[in-house]
Structure 1
Amino acid sequence: MNTTTQKNQGTNYTVPLITITLLFFMWGFITCMNDILIPYLKKLFQLTFFESMLVQFCFFGAYFLGSLAYFLVSYFYGDPVNKIGYKKGIISGIIVSALGCVLFYPAATFSAYGLFLGALFVLGLGFTILQITANAYVSLLGTEDSASSRLNMTQAFNAFGTTIAPILGGFLIFGSSADHEITAEATRIPYVVFAGILLLVALLIYNVKLPSFQAEEEVETKGLGALKFPQLKLGVLGIFCYVGGEVAVGSFIISFLEKDYIMGLSEAVSKNYLAMYWGGAMIGRFLGAISLSHSMSQAKKSLLMIVTAALVFLLIYSIVDLTFAQMSFFLVFLALNFVAFMIGKSAPARTLAVFAAINVTLLLSAMFNQGEMAMYSILGIGIFNSIMFSNIYTLGISGLGKYTSQGSSLLVMAILGGALVPVIQGAIADSDPVYGVQHSFVVPVLCYCYVLFFGIYCSRKLKDVEHATNTAGH
């Protein structure tokens, strides 16, 4: 990648990474609040599953429209990030996100579902800008071969936010009792506080010196631009399917666990298990950052992964209101996660394929079992979702050079999957007793099947490139 500010191999990017990681944490926390809002708004406004999934439709639909606008502007007039810089782009995304949070105040005051959806749309637009700028920025803060490792680390803190959100957010909205009274006003203060915290993060980023990366580009109005790269085109659908699958599963966990033939749990209890789902993603991303690193031996990696898994597991245990016996099933998934990483052999594409295959198996188990087996299967999906976004993202933009930001906007546009897949699953869930909630999970099954295909494709493509390079060398 030709840049006006060149990356130095010896440059220390620790401070910029820590700063951006803080942003990822808040971003994950607020995004996961949607999983709390869905059952809350469903009961408040007496919605069907399909209508309640409009929460995700508006939020993630904003990703599509915002990214489409960004792509069109970058294609015809030049990349906006290259013009204003990543730092200003990130700050502008935070400000729009904070505005979306503030809009929850009038939505709650007037108790109007349409206003809630509007606030979520604005919030989604802000996060769209952050997805385009922050993910690409992290991938540039170091060498290309370690990009997946870095992005997994920042995504791990994003997952830390999603782990805490069901507990803290669930307490703020549902209260500590299952006998709470649901009112629209419950969301007013929490989201105003979120807006304030986001603005403080923006102020921090404004005052921290961040390195600048700007590509030397020419505006191209002919040809396909970033779309001429096959790994990007397939990666766009990969992000669509992964985000759609992850969001759909997370959106339905509370409703799934409420079913008598599963566990018959209340929202106040189910939110703790939802935290386990997102907590699994956090553990997996920390382990992914270590496993996909090329700077240490396999023995050192294994030891560090075991220590990290133990520490993060204890952290989750201290957060959720569950006994060790209720959480012990998670240790089985941790062991399986280690095995999956070993099979992946630190290769992003191969690891992606292995994790996707496991998730397909777990979803089928959740669909055709009942009780604890169904519950454990659905919760175990989180830990294997862990490395998917970062691996699909870095595989998709690998080798794009001056098209990196444009390609990033297309990948972020594909987050539209988070808007459409839950709505499709919601429509199927409403067909109870024909299909119902349990068998509606066939939709994310199809999503993870495509992610499996993408992982296999990229793995084979990389092998072909290596073979061609070795042949040329001889």
Structure 2
Amino acid sequence: MNLASSQKTNGGALATLVLVFFFWGFIAASNSIFIPFCKTFFNLTQFESQLIGTAFYGAYFIGSLVLYIISEARGKDLLNKIGYKKGIILGLVISIVGALLMIPAVSNENLQPIEQHVAKVQKLKKDQKVTTADKAVTLKKEETGYSITVANNAEGQPHIANTAITSNLNEPFHVAEKDKSGKLTATFSDNKVSAIVQALKGEQIAFGNFPFILLALFIIALGFSLQQTCAQPFALMLGDPATGATRLNLGGSVNSFGTTVGPIIVSFFLFGTVSSSVEGTSVSSIKTLYMIVAGVFALVAIIFAVSKLPDGKNDTAFEKAPKASRSLMWLTGLVIAIILIGQFTEVSKLALLIAIIVGVVAILFASNGAAVKNPEGWGAMKYPQLIYGMIGIFVYVGVEVTIDNNFGALLHIPGYLTAEGLDESQISRYVSLYWGSLMIGRWTGAISVFNLSATGKKIATIVVPFIAFAVVLYVNRLNGSDVSDLYGYVVCIAIIIAAFFYGQDKPVKTLLTVSLLATAAMLIGIFTNGIVSVYAFIAGGLCCSVIWSCVFALGVAGLGKYTSQGSAFLIMMILGGAVIPPFQGVLGDFSSIGMHRSYYVAAAGFAFLAFLALKLRGVLKAQGLDFDQQIEKSH
């Protein structure tokens, strides 16, 4: 490997690289605020709002796959030819293009007359809404019939006095019992939808630019996929190889901090402060943020371009696996075909998403089955632990993302946490705590990197999680949030600390323990309401914090010369973050299920990961590998 001549860590280069780590987490977590905001602003269903995550995480799969297929076709690693340094620069440029595209995407709102969209209103499902561009009128689907809510101001008065509206209502306009805003509301039956919508002639609703926003996010994440592929090995080159793990740990810690502050900062750009209302807010409010992101990425790219850092090339042989490549292409083709079917037919979205999930699993198992019979050309896919690891990463990323991406919609439901439900401007502290929970776990998990005594490690394992929790509370207080309702979360932190001690850094034992805890947490969240339910769902983040490393380590165990290839295949399975959240979103759109009970998806995912821990242990033991036993002997 082309290492720097000096073994001393290049502090300036490392600081610049760590900034890139920060923005990966920042943008990914900020989607948690952007999703519920876009749902309201663009009048989307829960499924449609989850397409933000689909675009973002789908880009990781596409980017990793394209890079691998090109390398396969050339017979050598493409990044080895251009170097990790240039790869990072190219990734930054791609993300800059995406960030710049976001600016026109959010700057021009495509407004259309509401009377042209009677059919859309008629297709609303329970709790879905259509709100006019001036926020004067909201039409909402109720358990039976609809409700109309009108602002009691200059914009709303003409509608309150409009006999074409009032004559079709079940009751006179009145102030809702739990509404403190002074708005007037009334109900009307399903067969009055057309008359009510036509009576609102002159009002407009926002449409049109949401696909452009999805494209911009896809391109940003496409750049991220290249940056991440290059940045981690590049970080190892910025100093003594013996301290490489410490540099990666620093990058991971800063990445986790980015996920914690991202929701808070995006909420500030969209709404101002936590006391501000979503009403009157425009999607264009976020363009300044993406201008800053583009500027920072450009600055980092320039610093890397003019620096005297090593190119970052290695002499590792590229292991070709043409049959595995064809399998991945079949998988990609299946996903694209199902998406096209959904786009041009009326086939159930739920059925299509189930088909994708089943198809991914079936293709992976079929590939391994064929590889067992004839290993030639299959590369890493001939190892069953890799196949189980790929499915595990698919499920894990999907569950980690779906808990959070659907959380805003759950908090919005009246009676779940508050009587009125929270609007998009009020959820940032809960989203921040979820991602902060991953930071808490990762900071704690990184303790083993440092050469501490047994006693020092035990003390750090207890103290570090609470320090990280204090950081989460502090950054939320800076934004003006009242965090007093988060103090009780220390109970969840104490439980995960006990789980870490019980797991003893053993990957199978830790994976099984935290997966079972997470399953229990999801069930508690489903069967309760209020802050207990909120704590339970957020605690999923504490459990998720160590699952990636466990599944990854077990998935590449015993792969030998195929370890690098297996790692690439595992990273492709970030695809789960593009599939499972909209799957939960579709379930949440069904009135018979609703958002709260849709979290059975997360519970099932964690239960599967617990099963996976046992399955991987058996597969590896059959090959003479027992990581847990090796770690126990080393203690």
Q: Please say which of residues 128-137 and 27-36 is displaced more in the overlay.
A: 128-137
Which residue is 2:152 aligned to?
A: none
| Residue in structure 1 matched with residue 535 of structure 2 by the alignment | 376
Match of 1:231 in 2: 385
Partner of 2:502: 343
Residues 158 and 191 (structure 1), Cα distance of their counterparts in 2 relative to 1, 3 Å cut: same
How many residue pairs were aligned?
463
Q: Tell me what 2:259 maps to.
A: 162
| d(CA) in 2 for partners of 1:54, 1:211 | 37
Matched, 1:320 2:472: no
Gaps of 5+ in 1: none
Match of 1:266 among 413, 423, 439: 423
2:293 match: secondary structure: helix
Higher strand share: 2
Alpha carbon RMSD of aligned pairs, Å? 3.0
SS in structure 2 opposite 1:260?
coil
Q: Which residue, out of 78, 81, 87, partners 1:80? A: 78
Alignment of 1:450 with 2:608, yes or no, is yes
Per mean C-alpha deviation after superposition, the further-off stretch among 400-409 and 310-319 is 400-409
Does residue 212 of structure 1 match 2:210? no
Deviation at 1:390, TM superposition (A): 3.3
Show the counterpart of 2:625: 465
Instruction: Report the alpha carbon displacement of residue 310 of structure 1 after superposing the two structures with TM.
Output: 3.2
Tell me whether 172-181 or 23-32 shows the greater mean CA deviation.
172-181
Counterpart contact for 2:9–2:240, Cα < 8 Å: no
Deviation of 1:407 after TM superposition, in Å, equals 2.8
Q: Which has the larger radius of gyration?
A: 2
CA distance in 2, matches of 1:427, 1:369: 22
* CA deviation map 1:65-105 (0-9, x unaligned): 22221222222322212222222222222221121111101
Instruction: Report if aligned partners of 2:102, 2:287 keep a CA contact under 8 Å in 1.
Output: yes
Going from structure 1 to structure 2, the CA distance change for 1:399 and 1:93 (only over 3 Å counts) comes to: farther
Query: What percent of counterpart residues are identical?
Result: 34
Q: CA deviation digits over 1:304-354, x for unaligned, max 9?
A: 233323332222121114445312122112211211111111223432222
Residue 438 of structure 1 corresponds to 596
1:385 aligns with 2:544: yes
CA contact (8 A) 1:152 1:288 kept: no
Partners in 2 of 1:466 and 1:379 — Cα distance?
32
In 2: Cα distance, 1:61 partner to 1:168 partner: 24
Between 1:114-123 and 1:441-450, the stretch displaced more is 441-450
Q: Which amino acid aligns with 2:386?
A: L
Report matched runs for 1:151-190 at 5 Å: 153-176=250-273, 177-190=276-289
Could you tell me the TM-score, scaled by structure 1's length? 0.88
**Which stretch has the larger CA shift, 281-290 or 206-215?**
206-215
Higher relative contact order (CA 8 A, sep 6+): 1
Relative to structure 1, the CA distance from residue 404 to residue 82 in structure 2 (aligned partners, 3 Å threshold; closer, same or farther) is farther
**CA deviation profile, 1:8-42 (whole Å, cap 9, x unmatched):** 9x955574655543321111001112111111111
On the 8 A contact 2:511/2:613 being kept in 1, the answer is: yes
Q: Quickly say closer, same or farther: Cα 1:98–1:396, change in 2 above 3 A.
A: farther
The equivalent residue for 2:213 is 116
**8 Å Cα contact 2:10-2:238 kept in structure 1:** no
Distance (whole Å) between structure 1 residues aligned to residue 86 and residue 549 of structure 2: 23
Is contact 2:237-2:312 (8 Å) kept?
A: no
Distance 1:282 1:254, change over 3 A: same
| Aligned residues of 1:155 and 1:390 also touching (Cα < 8 A) | no
Q: Alpha carbons of 1:259 and 1:332: their partners in 2 closer, same or farther (altered >3 Å)?
A: same
CA separation of 1:37 and 1:226: change in aligned 2, threshold 3 A: same
- 1:245 lines up with 2:399 in the alignment: yes
Q: Is the 8 A contact 2:278 2:423 kept in 1?
A: no
Structure 2 Cα separation of the partners of residues 59 and 395 of structure 1:
26
Q: Shift of the alpha carbon at 1:45?
A: 1.1
2: distance between equivalents of 1:114 and 1:11? 48
More helix by share: 1
**Amino acid paired to 2:442:** R
Partner of 2:164: none
Higher mean C-alpha displacement, 93-102 vs 80-89: 80-89
Evaluate the alpha carbon distance shift between residue 155 and residue 396 of structure 1 in structure 2; reply closer, same or farther with a 3 A threshold: farther
Amino acid at match of 1:57: T
Q: What are the residue-to-residue correspondences of 1:287-306 with 2, within 5 Å? A: 287-290=444-447, 292-293=448-449, 295-306=451-462
| AA in 1 matched with 2:460 | L
Kindly indicate whether the alpha-carbon contact (under 8 Å) linking 2:22 and 2:254 is maintained by their aligned counterparts in 1: yes
1:127-153 per-residue CA deviation (whole Å, 9 max, x = no partner) reads 121232334555788999999887555
C-alpha contact (below 8 Å) 1:151/1:390 kept by paired residues = no
How far apart are 1:210 and its partner, in Å?
A: 5.2
Q: Give unpaired runs (5+ residues) of structure 2.
A: 110-208, 323-375, 631-635
Between the aligned partners of 1:401 and 1:140, the Cα distance in structure 2 is 22
